[in-house]
Amino acid sequence: MGHSVFLLAVAGQKDEQIKQLTSKLAGGDWSSFPPAGQVALQFAWKIAKEPAAITDEDTKRLTEAFGPLRAVDLIWYGAWCNYMTRVADAFQFPLERENCFAPPPRKGK
């Protein structure tokens, strides 16, 4: 199970909702998201794909959309997630196959 999918499942999203949302996120057209969400998604994409290209303007847009403390949270969390992904990729760790936080299936169902 991919980590984004895993987090959405842990948050209680249903399989069909997860498929729709991850498809929208992966498609790169984030125009249906609120303006602040679009800023966050653009920053997340850039920090994942071109981290050396992050500019003062990028952080300024985050700060304007979220305020200084939440902007720092977004920058830190985006950097941390990308770090963890690169470490996991380097060690070739497998992704989880299922949501380990989901309740066990009921007997007879």
Q: Give the model confidence (pLDDT) of 38-73 as tens digits.
A: 999 999 999 999 999 999 999 999 999 999 999 999
Residue 51, exposed/middle/buried by CB under 10 A (0-12, 13-18, 19+)? exposed
Confidence at 1, pLDDT banded by 50, 70, 90? very low
Q: What's the rounded Cα separation, in Å, for the pair 57 and 54?
A: 8
- What is the DSSP annotation of 32-99? TS-HHHHHHHHHHHHHHH-GGG--HHHHHHHHHHH-HHHHHHHHHHHHHHHHHHHHHHHHTPPPPSS-
| Cα of 97 vs its chain's centroid, Å | 18
pLDDT recorded at residue 38? 95
Q: Where are the domains of the chain?
A: 1-30, 33-94
> Against a cut of 0.85, is the pTM above it?
no
Q: Which two tokens stand for residue 78?
A: 């985006």
